[in-house]
Amino acid sequence: MNAKQCDYEAGSTGQLNSNPGSEVEHLETDGESRRSFLKKMIVASAATAVTGFPYTRAQAAENPSIKFGLLEDRSGNFAIFGINKWHGTQLALKEINEGWTLEGGVQGPGGPGVFAKVAPKPPTENIKEIVNRGGDETKDDTVWNEEDEYLVKSGENGVLGRQLELISPDPESDNSQFQSLARRLILEDKVDVIMAGFASAEREAIRPIMDQNKMLYFYNNQYEGGVADKYTFCTGAIPEQQIVPVMQYMIKNFGPKIYTLAADYNFGQLSAAWTRAMAPILSAEVIGEEFIPLSVSQFASSISRIQEAKPDWLMMYITGQNHSNYYPQADAAGVKIPMGSSINIAQGYEHRRFKAPALARFHVTASYMEEIPTPRNRKFVERWRKMFPDEPYMAMEGHSAYVATHLYAKAVRLAGTTDKETVIKALESGIGVEAPSGWVFMDPATHHLSQYIRLASCNEQHDISFVTEWPYIEPWWTRRLGVNLVRHPESKQYIPDEDPFFKMFKKKGKG
C-alpha cells in the first residue's frame, strides 16, 4: 500500500502510543539527560533482549489479540450482502493490523459543506466605489478540500499493541443461528466486540443477548431506523438520511404525485409511513400505496394499477430476489415512470445484475456506491479490489462495515482499553472519521452515524451519475423522540407510530 503520507499528529488520536520502539525516537539527547539516555538505552536493549527469547515471549503472553466477533451471512438468502460486509471488515482489520487508521478523531461536529458560497476578498483599492455599489457577487466555490487520502499511520500495528483477530462463523441467514453463535462468541470466544446482522430480524434476534451480556454491538446496515440501545451502535443509513432527500429531489424534478410500492414487512411498511408523513411537508401527495408480500414475484396487476394511477414518480421499497423481478417486468410493460428509492441498486447492485434498461430512471440516495468519482473513493476501490479481485460489486453496506471496524479501533485507542463500558464512552465522545464516502460522525445521543448522502441516477445504459449530494445529514429522528443514550440508557426500537407527528397520517387501504 503506497499511500501518500499525512502527518501523524499525536493530538488527533488523543493517545500516545506505548510501543517501546517509538519511545526511543522521542528521546532528547542534550547533555544532562545523556545519563538518562544511556539508562534508557540499557533498559530498552535489555527489554528487547529479554522479549527476544522465545521462552519469555511464550511465557509472558503480553499481547493477546483483541477478539473481533463478526456474524455476517455467507450462505443462505442474504449471502451476497453478508460476504460483501465480511470483505469490508477483513480489509479494515488488515489495515489496522498493519498500522493504518482513518483520519479523524474527537472533533467538533464535522461535515462542513464541500461547496458553499464564498465571500469575495475585501477590496483594497477603489474601496468607496466598491462598497457603495454593494461589492462583488459571491460565487460558488470549494471552501473545504476533501483530501484524497483517508488513511493515516496509526503509529502502531494493531491497537494498544495488540493485533485484532477476526472470529467470524457463518450464521447462514438463520435467526436462531445468530442467537446461538452470538452466545458462542460472547461466552466461549469471549470477544471484545460483535458486529452482526443484515436484516432487522437478525439484529433484533441478538440484541437482547447483547444487552444481557453487556456486549458492545455494532449494526452496520441501512434499516428502518429507531434503535435506541445503550450497547448498540448503528453505522448504516436511516430514513431521515435517505428517504427525505430522495423525496426532495424527486418532487422537485418530477412532480408531487407519488405512488409507493413497498415490501410487506417492517422495512417496507415503516418506510412507506415515512413517505406518507413527509409528503405534505414537501408539498406532495401519496396517491397510491401497495404492499407486496415477500414471496410475490409477479407484478402484472401492480403494474396495471400504476399505469392507471399515473403518478409522477414511484417510491420503491421492494427487497429480495422475488421483488427484483419487478424491474424487467415493468420495463417490458413499457412503464417509463421515474423511480426513487432508499435501498435498491446501492445495496443489491441491480443495475449490474439486470439487463439495461430495466433500471433506467432509477434514483437512490446512497451512503456509498462503488461508482462515487472522488479521488479518495478511487483509492478505496483500488485497495478493496486488490484484496478481493472477484468482488462482484462494492455495495453500500460493505462500506458501513469497513467504517465501523476502523471506528471501533479508534475508540479503543482513545479509551486505552478494550473494556466495553469505557469504549462505549469513547464512542460517545464525539468521534468522526474520514470515510471513503466522506466525513462521518458518530452521534453520541443516538448512537447512529451521520452520512454523506449522494443521489445516484441510473440511465438507460445503467451508468450511474451523482446528480446532487447532501454532505452531512444527522440522525435526527430519535433525538426528536427524546433519545439521549448518554443521559438515559435504554434498549428498544422506536417505530414511527410512537411519533405523534406520524400519527397524523393513517395508512391507506391496500392498493
Partner 1 sequence: MEREDKRWWQVLNGPQELGRGRVFWCLFTFAALGLLAYPFVGSVFALSNFANFCLYVPMGLGLALLWGYSGVLSFGQSAFFAIAGYVYGIISGNLLDMPGGTLLAAAGAIAASAAIAAAFGYFVFYGQVSGWIIPLLLLVLSLILETFMAQTAGYQWRVGSVLLGGYNGMTNIPSLQIGSSIFGGASIGFYYLVVSAMLITYLGLRLLVNSHYGHVVTGIRDDVERTRMLGYNVNLMQIQVFVVAAALAGLSGVLYVSWGNYINPSSMGLLPATLPVIWTAVGGRSSLLAVLLSTVTLRWLADSLAVKGGEYAFLIMGILLLVTMLFFPAGIVVTLARHWLQRKPERRDLKKNRAP
Give me the residues that bind partner 1 (CB under 8 A), please. 74-76, 169-172, 174-177, 179-181, 183-184, 186-188, 199-201, 204-209, 212-213, 264-267, 269-270, 273, 291, 293-295, 491-493, 495, 497-498, 507
Nearer to partner 1, 86 or 452 (CB): 86
SS3 of 405, please? helix
Minimum CB–partner distance for residue 203 and partner 1 (Å)? 8
Nearer to partner 1, 39 or 507 (CB): 507
Residue of 245, 208, 246, 240 whose CA lies nearest to 222: 240
SS3 of 340, please? strand
Minimum CB–partner distance for residue 304 and partner 1 (Å)? 23
CA distance 363 to 315: 10
Beta strands in 326-450 (DSSP E): 339-341, 362-366, 431-435, 438-441
Structure-block grid coordinates of residue 75: 450462505
Nearer to partner 1, 216 or 273 (CB): 273
DSSP structure class, residue 129? H
CA 342 → CA 246, 250, 268, 273, distances in Å?
7, 12, 11, 14
Residue 453 near residue 469, CB atoms below 8 Å: yes
Nearer to partner 1, 159 or 205 (CB): 205
Nearer to partner 1, 325 or 491 (CB): 491
Kindly report the number of other CB atoms within 10 A of residue 64's CB atom.
9
Minimum CB–partner distance for residue 210 and partner 1 (Å)? 11
Nearer to partner 1, 162 or 207 (CB): 207
Nearer to partner 1, 159 or 243 (CB): 243
CA distance 464 to 426: 38
**Ramachandran class of 197: left when φ > 0, alpha when ψ lies in -120 to 50, beta otherwise:** left
Nearer to partner 1, 167 or 440 (CB): 167
Residue of 62, 91, 61, 86 whose CA lies nearest to 74: 86
Minimum CB–partner distance for residue 224 and partner 1 (Å)? 8
- Determine whether 243 is exposed, middle or buried from the number of CB atoms within 10 Å of its CB (0-12, 13-18, 19+): buried
Minimum CB–partner distance for residue 211 and partner 1 (Å)? 8
Minimum CB–partner distance for residue 77 and partner 1 (Å)? 10
Nearer to partner 1, 166 or 366 (CB): 166
Minimum CB–partner distance for residue 361 and partner 1 (Å)? 29
Nearer to partner 1, 292 or 426 (CB): 292
Minimum CB–partner distance for residue 260 and partner 1 (Å)? 15
CA 48 → CA 52, 62, 505, distances in Å?
6, 13, 69
H runs (alpha helix) in 102-238 = 127-133, 175-183, 200-212
Minimum CB–partner distance for residue 391 and partner 1 (Å)? 17
503 phi and psi angles, rounded to 5 deg: -65, -15
Residue 199 near residue 208, CB atoms below 8 Å: no
Residue 306 near residue 334, CB atoms below 8 Å: no
Nearer to partner 1, 78 or 441 (CB): 78
Minimum CB–partner distance for residue 315 and partner 1 (Å)? 17
What is the identity of the amino acid at 111? Answer: G
Minimum CB–partner distance for residue 275 and partner 1 (Å)? 14
Binning the chain into helix, strand and coil, the percentages to the nearest 5 are 40, 20, 40
CA distance 237 to 381: 20
Minimum CB–partner distance for residue 384 and partner 1 (Å)? 22
Nearer to partner 1, 23 or 497 (CB): 497
CA distance 350 to 456: 13
